[in-house]
Structure 1
Amino acid sequence: MYKILALDMDDTLLRKDLTISEKNKDAIKKAAEKGVKIVFCSGRSSKSMINYINNLNGYNCNEYLISYNGAMVLNLKDKATLFNKYVEKEYVLKLVDYGRTNNLNIQLYIDDNVVVEKFDERTKQYEVLSGLPVKQVKDLKEVSDKGSLKVLINNDENILNELKTELDELLGNDLNIFFSKPYYLEFLNKKANKGIGLLELAKLIDIPLKDIIAIGDSFNDISMIEIAGLGVAIGNAHEKVKKIANYVTKNDHNNDGVAEVIEKFILD
């Protein structure tokens, strides 16, 4: 029997309107009642994720979470940090300089806050998506003494595609660099991704990888889909994600794809 259900949020569990369907909620509750640990695993900040978890009070999914694309693992019961890996200050400063040179919107994640120098329309859209206010500061370098849990460039898809090759050459040996959405290019510590975060949690609570289901849609989900006993791509997932998955749902994120997995592999 599967013992952990690791769920990506955006474009997997959440619908286009950023809500969780009643069918998905019901399936999650039934899985938890069977003893499966429900673990949200997202690129979002912990604070953004907790807002959703609090709205699922009574659904038994408030034990652990994996945030910042795997850079942090939290025990929600006692608020303990079980694992974290920061982008070190050296690389944060390089990315801030790169952003200034190329007129890019650089976002840092400091003490569970999103921090920017440049506040524009894209920043406003990010606030809507995350459900969190973004803090504007004069100088990102002054708030990055301990590094950042992740760094995100929020910009046009075509511009980011052109820049990624250059950034891979500049920092690819030192950081994990990937798209979480076509317009979000993210940077993590080389020893952090969703797969590593899930592996660390599994070791801490003594659950073998074969007993884990992981469901996702995008490039940042590949690492956890690959290590899980059952790696699932949601129906709307990128083709590269579908190719590495053990199972691809018939339904997409707008049509209860998560419930499909729970009903087929946990409740059946």
Structure 2
Amino acid sequence: MISANGVYVFDDIFSEPIVKNYLKENTKIEILSFLEQNHLDVDYYIVLGFEEDFHMIYKLRESYDTYFLNFVKGRELFKPTYPQKNLLDFVKSPISHIGIVGRYDKLKYLADIFKNLKHNVNVILYYAADNKDYGFLEILDIESSKEKALSKLLRIKMISPENLLAIGDNFNDIGMFKLAQISVAVANAPDEVKRFAKFVTHATNNQGAVAEAFERFILGQK
């Protein structure tokens, strides 16, 4: 299993990850200091590593965007999620990624800034699945991406990309599409993402798109 946009590769869900790509300490300091000092009026958070049970800690603010609050409430149902005044207090902890949630146009502007910072990072921006006015911006270690993690897993398991089926719905899946022999975008993926896929399902990711892809390409059903 690959999770957190390629931060982890698990051989099975009951064991420690065989691959972990955490943000480097100087990168964490630079990104969090930038967010702290520039008062950008955005909601942001960190996710701690496997060793600390994936706690999500978000910046304590006087008020939050309603969309972000709904995101927080959803995550609270399955993992510890809580605010703290200074996220820089956690730079010694393993951190899988720094995330920002907000209006897509604003996040697009921020993504360009982060791509030009001193430290080499992987900046992923994608639409919120349920509201394309909003998005998620994730800052990860340069070695963290779905396609890099997938390449490592293929080498470990001695599997050829010719035997790989990739299904995705957003911009963070494009690299995976380029790697796979069969690439499938779901019906509600952005048009820019669909252009990189060889096939597009009739169903959305909420209506059985994965089942549709399995039926066609694995079970051989029309």
TM range (shorter): 0.7 to 0.9
The alignment partner of 1:235 has SS state of coil
Partner of residue 177, structure 1: 123
**Whole-angstrom CA distance in 2 between matches of 1:195 and 1:248:** 19
Partner of residue 87, structure 1: 23
Q: Normalized against structure 2, the TM-score is what?
A: 0.83
CA contact (8 A) 1:99 1:105 kept: no
- Answering whether residue 72 of structure 2 is matched by residue 127 of structure 1, we say yes
Q: State which of 132, 143, 147 in structure 1 corresponds to 2:90.
A: 143
Gaps of 5+ in 1: 1-64
**Whole-angstrom CA distance in 2 between matches of 1:78 and 1:125:** 29
The alignment partner of 1:252 has SS state of coil
Partner of residue 169, structure 2: 217
Count matched residues: 203
**Whole-angstrom CA distance in 1 between matches of 2:189 and 2:122:** 21
CA contact (8 A) 2:97 2:140 kept: yes
**Whole-angstrom CA distance in 2 between matches of 1:78 and 1:183:** 31
> Residues 117 and 254 from structure 1, CA distance in 2 versus in 1: closer, same or farther, beyond 3 angstroms?
closer
CA contact (8 A) 1:96 1:106 kept: no
Q: Normalized against structure 1, the TM-score is what?
A: 0.70
Let me know the Cα RMSD of the aligned residues.
1.9
- Answering whether residue 105 of structure 2 is matched by residue 158 of structure 1, we say yes
The alpha-carbon deviation at position 122 of structure 1 amounts to 4.3
Partner of residue 97, structure 1: 33
Gaps of 5+ in 2: 128-133
The alpha-carbon deviation at position 123 of structure 1 amounts to 4.0
* Bigger helix share: 1
Q: State which of 57, 79, 82 in structure 2 corresponds to 1:115.
A: 57
Partner of residue 58, structure 1: none
**Whole-angstrom CA distance in 1 between matches of 2:29 and 2:135:** 22
- Answering whether residue 144 of structure 2 is matched by residue 192 of structure 1, we say yes
Partner of residue 216, structure 2: 264
> Residues 69 and 77 from structure 1, CA distance in 2 versus in 1: closer, same or farther, beyond 3 angstroms?
closer
Q: Deviations over 1:176-226 (max 9, x none)?
A: 112133421111111110011111122222211111111001111111111
CA contact (8 A) 2:169 2:205 kept: no
Percent identical pairs in the alignment equals: 24
Q: Deviations over 1:28-59 (max 9, x none)?
A: xxxxxxxxxxxxxxxxxxxxxxxxxxxxxxxx
Partner of residue 192, structure 2: 240
